[in-house]
């Protein structure tokens, strides 16, 4: 049956997608069996997990039901730094076939490991991701996620091949060549960060190429938060369907959750990654449907299991059935990452709020950057916004008007005054990976 659906070009299914459609009770049986195994594995092989469980008087046998997961201690990002490089591995190096690492911009990088089985699971969940976004055998997938230590490139690569798509391993960067290959190779699907794709749209326009005229039909975007407004912009300007995917290296890389044809929340591949939502302040588990911090437990990871890993991502779980038929639960797209939040004059600000304010005025998202400075003990926030053809006027009054409207829109949402500066196109650095939206110079000099 699934194979038949798979042969239907529009089906969005793949044999690997079968667990997406398990009855809930069958899924929970799989989850509990795997949870008990992974907790035992972590307890036996990783000093940090064992000592924390011992402190609480817990043993692997304490896990009798899925609810018992709430007794287990959390794992946080600093645990990965503190045990750098290999302290959280549960497999001997002879079983580890791959290492990835974060860029480590804020100190020590974090290292993650995969056994051959882990790579297979990763390939499977990425194939399920692509199937969920409507890709199938015969699609030509341009993979513009960065290859290398970053998990995005290789994760998408293996998933695309497992799906049976034709993968072009172009990696990030060299935008003119990206556009040339989309055109010359009749690329039908592309994955990268949403900010890099908006840059591609902009560059294609400069080169006189309308992406809507090409065969590209699907974009798979992840690795940074983006908004629905950005999705509408991308879909209209490139003539594609744009899907949000979610993942993080600490858990596996991309492939933790993915949107489906409904574009209404991301299905978490729950048979491998167990999601919980907690109150970020108290650590208490919250009921389904409430907004809080996403906590994930890897149910099948071998080389580096994660028990109740705090993602810092704010979202909520949706339990209502999805129109696509998948039974695995969905999470709301992550609009804000508590890591991205900055505090200015006592106000918590997320870049996505600034984004929404800019979008409300311009209709599309301009390139922007938030710059925080400190002068005379007072924090200042400046927002630089590149002028676009849509808002540019030959009249000073027209530009002063747009500047004032952008500033007011941000001030209405944040409740603080901002210094809004219009800047020339292409003066804000473009990222070929994750966009850097906030520059904090408050502790410089």
Partner 1 sequence: MKLQQLSLFLENRPGRLEAPLAAIAAEGINILTLSLADTAQFGILRLIVRDWEKAKRILEQAGWVVNLTEVVAVDVLDRPGGLAGALRILEDANLNVEYMYAFSLRRDDKAILIFRFEDPDRAIQVLLDQGLHVVDGDELMTFVS
Write out the residues near partner 1 by the rule CB under 8 A.
Answer: 206-207, 387-389, 392-396, 399-400, 421-427
C-alpha distances in angstroms, 29 versus 60, 65, 278? 17, 10, 23
292-298 and 309-315 as β-strands: parallel, antiparallel, unpaired? antiparallel
Q: Measured from the CB of residue 358, what is the shortest distance to partner 1 in angstroms? A: 16
Residue closer to partner 1 (CB basis): 176 or 279? 176
Residue closer to partner 1 (CB basis): 202 or 276? 202
CA-angle at 385, arms to 383 and 387, nearest 5°: 160
Indicate the helix (H) or strand (E) that contains 244: strand 241-248
Residue closer to partner 1 (CB basis): 26 or 429? 429
Q: Measured from the CB of residue 405, what is the shortest distance to partner 1 in angstroms? A: 15
Residue closer to partner 1 (CB basis): 339 or 419? 419
Structure-block tokens of residue 138: 């015969």
* Torsion sign over Cα 169, 273, 314, 444: negative
Residue closer to partner 1 (CB basis): 205 or 345? 205
Q: Measured from the CB of residue 207, what is the shortest distance to partner 1 in angstroms? A: 8
Q: Measured from the CB of residue 170, what is the shortest distance to partner 1 in angstroms? A: 23
253-258 and 378-386 as β-strands: parallel, antiparallel, unpaired? unpaired
A 10 A CB-CB count for 133 gives: 25
Q: Measured from the CB of residue 143, what is the shortest distance to partner 1 in angstroms? A: 27
Pick the closest to residue 355 from 231, 441, 219, 191 (CA basis): 231
Q: Are 428 and 386 in contact (CB under 8 A)?
A: yes
CA-angle at 223, arms to 171 and 340, nearest 5°: 135
Residue closer to partner 1 (CB basis): 4 or 394? 394
Residue closer to partner 1 (CB basis): 55 or 394? 394
Q: Measured from the CB of residue 425, what is the shortest distance to partner 1 in angstroms? A: 5
What is the Cα–Cα distance from 70 to 35, expressed in whole angstroms?
A: 12
Q: Are 309 and 295 in contact (CB under 8 A)?
A: yes
Q: Are 252 and 155 in contact (CB under 8 A)?
A: yes
Residue closer to partner 1 (CB basis): 23 or 395? 395
Residue closer to partner 1 (CB basis): 93 or 180? 180
Q: Are 203 and 312 in contact (CB under 8 A)?
A: no
List, in sequence order, every residue forming a beta bridge with 141; answer none if it has no partner: 167, 189
Q: Measured from the CB of residue 205, what is the shortest distance to partner 1 in angstroms? A: 9
What is the Cα–Cα distance from 48 to 308, expressed in whole angstroms?
A: 13
Helix orientation angle between 351-362 and 228-238, rounded to the nearest 10 degrees: 50
């Amino acid at each position: 049956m699934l194979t038949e659906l798979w042969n239907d070009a529009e089906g969005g299914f793949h044999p690997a997608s079968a667990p997406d459609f398990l009855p809930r009770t069958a899924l929970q049986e799989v989850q509990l069996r795997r949870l008990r195994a992974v907790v035992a594995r972590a307890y036996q092989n990783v000093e940090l997990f064992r000592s924390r469980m011992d402190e609480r008087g817990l043993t692997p046998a304490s896990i009798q039901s899925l609810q018992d997961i709430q007794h287990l201690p959390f794992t946080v990002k600093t645990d990965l730094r503190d045990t750098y490089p290999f302290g959280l591995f549960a497999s001997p190096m002879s079983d580890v076939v791959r290492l990835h690492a974060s860029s480590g911009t804020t100190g020590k990088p974090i290292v993650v490991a995969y056994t051959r089985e882990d790579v297979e699971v990763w390939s499977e969940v990425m194939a399920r991701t692509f199937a969920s976004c409507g890709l199938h055998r015969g699609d030509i997938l341009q993979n513009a996620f960065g290859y290398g230590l970053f998990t995005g490139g290789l994760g998408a690569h293996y998933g695309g091949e497992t799906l049976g798509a034709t993968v072009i391993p172009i990696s990030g960067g060299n935008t003119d060549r990206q556009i040339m290959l989309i055109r010359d190779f009749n690329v039908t699907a592309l994955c990268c960060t949403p900010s890099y794709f908006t840059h591609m749209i902009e560059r294609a326009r400069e080169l006189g190429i309308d992406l809507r005229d090409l065969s590209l039909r699907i974009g798979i975007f992840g690795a940074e938060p983006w908004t629905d407004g950005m999705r509408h912009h991308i879909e209209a300007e490139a003539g594609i369907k744009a899907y949000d995917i979610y993942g993080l290296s600490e858990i596996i890389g991309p492939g933790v959750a993915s949107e489906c044809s409904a574009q209404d929340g991301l299905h978490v591949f729950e048979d491998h990654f167990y999601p919980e939502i907690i109150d970020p302040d108290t650590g208490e588990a919250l009921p389904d449907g409430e907004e809080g911090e996403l906590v994930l437990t890897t149910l099948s990871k071998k080389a580096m299991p994660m028990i109740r890993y705090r993602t810092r991502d704010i979202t909520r779980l949706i339990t209502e059935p999805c129109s696509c038929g998948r039974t695995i639960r969905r999470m709301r797209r992550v609009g804000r990452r508590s890591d991205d939040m900055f505090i200015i004059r006592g106000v918590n600000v997320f870049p996505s709020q600034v984004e929404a304010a800019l979008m409300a005025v311009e209709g599309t998202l301009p390139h922007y950057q938030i710059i925080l400075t400190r002068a005379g003990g007072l924090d200042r926030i400046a927002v630089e916004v590149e002028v676009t053809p849509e808002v540019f006027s030959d009249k000073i009054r027209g530009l002063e008007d747009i500047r004032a409207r952008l500033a007011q829109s941000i001030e209405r949402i944040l409740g603080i005054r901002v210094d809004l500066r219009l800047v020339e196109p292409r003066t804000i650095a473009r990222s070929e990976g994750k966009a850097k939206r906030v520059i904090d110079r408050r502790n410089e000099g």
